[in-house]
Amino acid sequence: MFYDMTSSTGRAAEHVEDTQCARFIAFYEHTCARLIGQVATMIGSRTDAEDIVQDAFVRCLSNWSKVRDYDNPEAWVRTVAFRLCTSRYRRTIVAARALPRLLAPTDTYPAESVEDRLDIEAALAKLDIFRRAVLILYYTEDLSIEEIARTLNIRPGTVKSRLARARSQLQTLLSDDTGGKANE
């Protein structure tokens, strides 16, 4: 940002911005470690807790002009972090419930062999949980793009891009593992 340093308004605006930045940094330093501890206790993973708390503070920073004036900004960021935990948990549960059905043998799409099935399981395990979730919901639950978007609380465009990337990644993984079998 560029301010006309010869004008008093430019210096005043810069001072206000610096003060707000300093307030946010002080707030972050005062509350971050405690919030990570609370979230880690809630979800059982310090690494995941750090990611969630980071996301919560990013949202806090983008709303800082309002949050800074709340009676208890820490309660606001804690609520955001706990809601992010809940969202992550729901996505994980959806994926965990659907994965066995995806991997279960069916009459419609029988695996050619146990080896093929193991290749598919291994390839699916290499996908990140978000791509795996859309694959599972689309192919095993037969949900529409809109239904998946509502289930995972994401936009339909995000579902489409994750589905396309998951298909592409799965095809690459399977063709690498099977020596080109996926392309036959």
Alpha-carbon distance 112 to 17, whole Å?
64
- More reliable by pLDDT, 121 or 8: 121
What residues make up the domain containing 41?
A: 8-89
Identify whether residues 171 and 127 lie together within a single domain: yes
Q: What is the pLDDT of residues 20-36, one digit of tens each?
A: 889 999 999 999 999 99
Instruction: Give the number of domains in the chain.
Output: 2
- pLDDT for the residue numbered 99: 66
13 confidence band (pLDDT: 50, 70, 90): very low
Alpha-carbon distance 94 to 150, whole Å?
12
pLDDT at residue 60 tops 90: yes
Identify whether residues 24 and 82 lie together within a single domain: yes
- More reliable by pLDDT, 146 or 90: 146
Average pLDDT of the residues in 127-132: 85
- More reliable by pLDDT, 173 or 181: 173
- More reliable by pLDDT, 12 or 112: 112
pLDDT-wise least confident of 46-50, 99-103, 126-130: 99-103
Sign of CA dihedral 115, 117, 122, 126: positive
- pLDDT for the residue numbered 151: 78
Identify whether residues 144 and 79 lie together within a single domain: no
